[in-house]
Structure 1
């Protein structure tokens, strides 16, 4: 090999000895592996924390609609890719969210167990009082009917049968079934079939209904609402994976002549990155100290203002049209798409926690 040439360790390309970087693959020549190099390569490869991130972060915050516009125009090497920016900020958000909510499952379980104990005591007390009042009320009713024969001739045996009707003054149960009876069956180690029958499940119930009743029984026994909440938190990234394309679809419906679906998806990536940044600030501040609700409201309101300005700049329409579409899109997303996704997420968490 020529003494004035050296070989790239990555791609074996022949390059001059004074080259610091390989012109073929871009790797630094003869770079020693240190902890600093290892850490930087890991971060830069997965999150692209380099000059492009710094060039992208400030426009993301202070120039709504700027980054998607430049990306569509073809300036894609100067700024961070929308999916990479979304990934990096979302990882930061979920890290802060985990710090803010890591104690919530345990608190919920403690509250549910406390509520269960107080409910049992209340039901027992109500049952005792009901039996005491029941004997007095029935005696008074029986005496009233006997002393008022002018109301009609009612045989004494008929009076007793009417007043002994178990459906008279029947207590309502919050779970939809007799909890005391269910507790006795559970204490007696009754089979699931007997317990489900006490819960008024039909014998011909399908798989989904049986699964639902099984989870109700599981929750009734353990009051483990914390596990449900944990599943919900774990599945939020997957839910957002579907929410972002749906949001882009809404944009496509309202701006059908303003580019193809990919253009709206680019806009959505950058806007959701900004939303994650706002929520990271909100959860981060409340993690350190509890602030008044007006600050949270102000930050959330800024997300709408940002959305309005971004729509105007990216789609090049007037303020009135942009304001109208921003309100309608936000309404449809918050009232229909987001609640539907949250409901599906909760049902999934309940069925598989």
Structure 2
């Protein structure tokens, strides 16, 4: 009695249909691509990066759209899982980027401290000029015939003291004076007193009060590096959130070219490519101190052409149509989604640094 045979999507070998898995490669028989399949065991298998990574990395870099097309078609054991590839490459990137970000945070803190020192120096000069102004007009009498009298003109002092008043700011339309806040902190005033001076009211909402608390924290520490560090630390999570949004944009432009999970596969591989490129740029900057900016610019522009060729390979269509759609996808993502994400990241970094 003959038994029916079926073909494995991964290794293209035929086997008897009653087998639940392919006896040649081990892939599940009749495996349909779903969200469960895409994410199943991804975290637990993350560190089991084997030779498939090296087999997948070259096609990822030089053959746009090849890996997602192979994975969607059913060849899921020949190459590294898309989510696994993305996680591994992103971890490598953020490890390398930490060396650069540390220098940026230190430089940011140094710049703020220098600005504060210059501000204090200028305030001292204003204070001295104001004291001299009270003397009306002071004439320095020469001690010898070789010296000339020195006259301090009140008009000059007026121009300095009027044009450069004590620096003040505004929070939620409430003006405050930085010198007064600094003085209250030095004098040991309570936080409640300083909050009132800043303009915080008892009936303000949680968000507003949180903003005032962070502002006072900044005045006390005079450190903007911690805010920048909090912003940089939020990038991995933000990128992971932006990834499905990018897949949704692909779905809008290629609505009839597969389910959402198919576009998510492409997004995983595309973002893995982006992190690979960024990692190479970081390495180049760490090794080559004066790394040419034009090479970096050219490399960044190349990511668009990768997207263009990738959608052409995966979704088909003419080159002109693929170019127009990839341009629209890039514009929509870079002009609307990414700026909004950066704003949210900056706001969250300030609120929770």
Instruction: Give the alignment of 1:158-237 within 5 angstroms.
Output: 171=165, 173=167, 175-176=169-170, 177-237=176-236
Instruction: Give the alignment of 1:52-131 within 5 angstroms.
Output: 52-129=52-129
Rg: which structure is higher?
A: 1
Q: What is the TM-score normalised by the length of structure 2?
A: 0.74
Give the equivalent residue in structure 2 for 1:326: 326
From the superposition, tell whether residues 136 and 323 of structure 1 become closer, same or farther in structure 2 (CA, over 3 Å).
farther
User: Deviation string for 1:274-304 (max 9, x for gaps)?
Assistant: 0000000111100112311001011111111
Cα drift, residue 173 of structure 1: 2.9
Give the equivalent residue in structure 2 for 1:297: 297
Cα drift, residue 342 of structure 1: 1.2
Cα drift, residue 135 of structure 1: 8.7
Contact 1:69–1:314 (Cα < 8 Å) also in 2? yes
How many residues end up aligned between the 2 structures? 284
Cα drift, residue 122 of structure 1: 1.2
From the superposition, tell whether residues 327 and 132 of structure 1 become closer, same or farther in structure 2 (CA, over 3 Å).
farther
Contact 2:68–2:266 (Cα < 8 Å) also in 1? yes
Give the equivalent residue in structure 2 for 1:147: none
Q: What is the TM-score normalised by the length of structure 1?
A: 0.74
d(CA) in 2 for partners of 1:67, 1:320: 23
From the superposition, tell whether residues 131 and 206 of structure 1 become closer, same or farther in structure 2 (CA, over 3 Å).
farther
d(CA) in 2 for partners of 1:182, 1:350: 20
Cα drift, residue 333 of structure 1: 1.0
| Larger helix fraction of residues | 1
From the superposition, tell whether residues 135 and 80 of structure 1 become closer, same or farther in structure 2 (CA, over 3 Å).
same
User: Deviation string for 1:52-85 (max 9, x for gaps)?
Assistant: 2222111111110011111111111111110111
Cα drift, residue 186 of structure 1: 1.4
d(CA) in 2 for partners of 1:252, 1:183: 53
User: Deviation string for 1:315-349 (max 9, x for gaps)?
Assistant: 10111111111111111111111111111111111
5+ residue gaps, structure 2, are 1-22, 27-43, 138-161, 171-175
Could you say what the CA RMSD is over the residues aligned between the two structures, in angstroms? 2.5
User: Deviation string for 1:156-188 (max 9, x for gaps)?
Assistant: xxxxxxxxxxxx979373533211211221122
5+ residue gaps, structure 1, are 1-22, 27-43, 138-167
From the superposition, tell whether residues 329 and 131 of structure 1 become closer, same or farther in structure 2 (CA, over 3 Å).
farther
Contact 1:275–1:303 (Cα < 8 Å) also in 2? yes
From the superposition, tell whether residues 252 and 130 of structure 1 become closer, same or farther in structure 2 (CA, over 3 Å).
farther
